[in-house]
Chains A and B, each alone.
Chain A
């Protein structure tokens, strides 16, 4: 029994290690495909990119807007109540900036994009595999990474970066209105406090973080879709693996950024 248990643990570890090393090799192959992207395909690539931006960014705006508003209200409601009680309304802006702009904005945007677009990428590419479309492309000498993956990764990266800014704006705006209405904190005072707390570095890092999240989600979901789609029953498993890997990636990167801020920039 002990031997079987140890063997099972070893086999599981090896399988997971193999999967992550496959993902890392995939990133390398994708980088080479991007560098060698044929100039004649720009128009076709741009069309896929526009479709990706429309689906990932534009169509996500209403849903993400609602989430941002709810989060903004929740954060400001909690923070305002404590601020009024303990008399630290002057740091409300700092709290909003730290919690919403640096942490929740990119994180929740990435999770929404993963739920809408990451799953779609994994399912679509797995379906391509089942319908033998990927193999047909390969048989014609067309690089599936250039045709299927590069535009989706670029589109997802741009989308999450843009959506993160949108999320932050709606959450801060909604939070400011709520603070004015409930805690009687004047919007001008809160806006000034947010302006003081928010540095250009915050904004740039938010955009960069969003871009990394978007690219990571698209790469991981595309990988699972491309390697896993053999039979129709494989498709849901590809999606599940893509989502789990992406969630792990997003949380790890988010934590790394927080530690970086704390250790290197002392903020």
Chain B
């Protein structure tokens, strides 16, 4: 079974370097690395999680077309995934790292505050980020920020 399938996909306003219609398939349970530039990787991620629909072609992820989902179905779909960006990291700048991990759990309606706090602490420990828990993103070294993005992506067991 394929987890992700792109068929002749072209995004709206494709970034420089987009090679034309692209097709690929990623089977479930595999690890894949794309050798693409930052603009293309962001465009790919937006298409995969349904923040953009393709101008041409078809994108299927976990058996559905994310770009065709409505607002609430799209949100429910994205809660099943873990996504992180490189710089700018997208960590909420006026919250500390612990709160940054709590927000996705709370706002998904998945858990109450205490459970979200516990889950955030456990995830920060698992990623070796305990000592940064009360630091804001701007105070973190870049490599720690990247790890924090992965921790946030992993907190809901995608």
Contact = CB atoms under 8 A, between A and B. Distances in A.
Interface in A88-114: none
Given A140-B79, A141-B79, A142-B108, A132 B89 contact: yes
Given A137-B92, A147-B103, 15 more contacts: A40-B116, A41-B106, A41-B109, A44-B106, A44-B107, A131-B93, A132-B90, A135-B85, A136-B92, A139-B81, A139-B83, A140-B156, A141-B78, A143-B75, A147-B107
Interface string A183-227: 000000000000000000000000000000000000000000000
A139 B52 CA distance: 11
The 7 A-B pairs at the shortest CB distance, nearest first, are namely A136-B90, A141-B79, A141-B78, A38-B109, A142-B107, A139-B83, A140-B104
Interface of A: 29, 32, 36, 38-41, 43-44, 127-128, 130-133, 135-143, 146-147
Contacts of B152: 140
Given A40-B110, A40-B111, A135-B51, A142 B90 contact: no
B78 A140 contact: yes
B110 A131 contact: no
Nearest to B74: A141
Contacts, number: 92
A127 B71 CA distance: 23
A142 B104 contact: yes
B112 interface: yes
- Bin chain B's interface residue count: 35 or more
Contacts of B111: 40
B99 to A, nearest CB: 8
A127 B109 CA distance: 26
Nearest to B103: A142
A136 B95 CA distance: 14
B108 A141 contact: yes
A139 B153 CA distance: 10
A43 B45 contact: no
B20 interface: no
A174 to B, nearest CB: 37
B76 interface: yes
Interface of B: 45, 49, 51, 71-72, 74-79, 81, 83, 85, 88-93, 102-104, 106-113, 116, 152-153, 156
Contacts of A130: 88
Contacts of A139: 45, 49, 51, 78, 81, 83, 85, 90
B104 A141 contact: yes
30 contacts: A32-B71, A38-B109, A39-B109, A40-B106, A40-B112, A40-B116, A43-B106, A43-B113, A44-B107, A127-B93, A131-B90, A132-B88, A133-B93, A135-B51, A135-B85, A136-B85, A136-B92, A137-B103, A139-B81, A140-B78, A140-B83, A140-B104, A140-B108, A140-B156, A141-B79, A141-B81, A141-B104, A142-B104, A142-B107, A142-B108
A247 to B, nearest CB: 27
B23 to A, nearest CB: 24
Given A141-B79, A142-B104, A143-B107, A133 B92 contact: yes
A231 B90 CA distance: 14
Interface centre among B45, B77, B106, B111 (most CB of A within 10 A): B106
A133 to B, nearest CB: 5
A127 B138 CA distance: 14
Among B85, B90, B93, B107, max chain A CB count under 10 A is at B107
B48 to A, nearest CB: 10
B91 A133 contact: yes
A41 B88 contact: no
A52 to B, nearest CB: 12
Contacts of A38: 106-109
A128 B89 CA distance: 11
Contacts of B112: 40
Contact of B107 (A29, A32, A41): A41
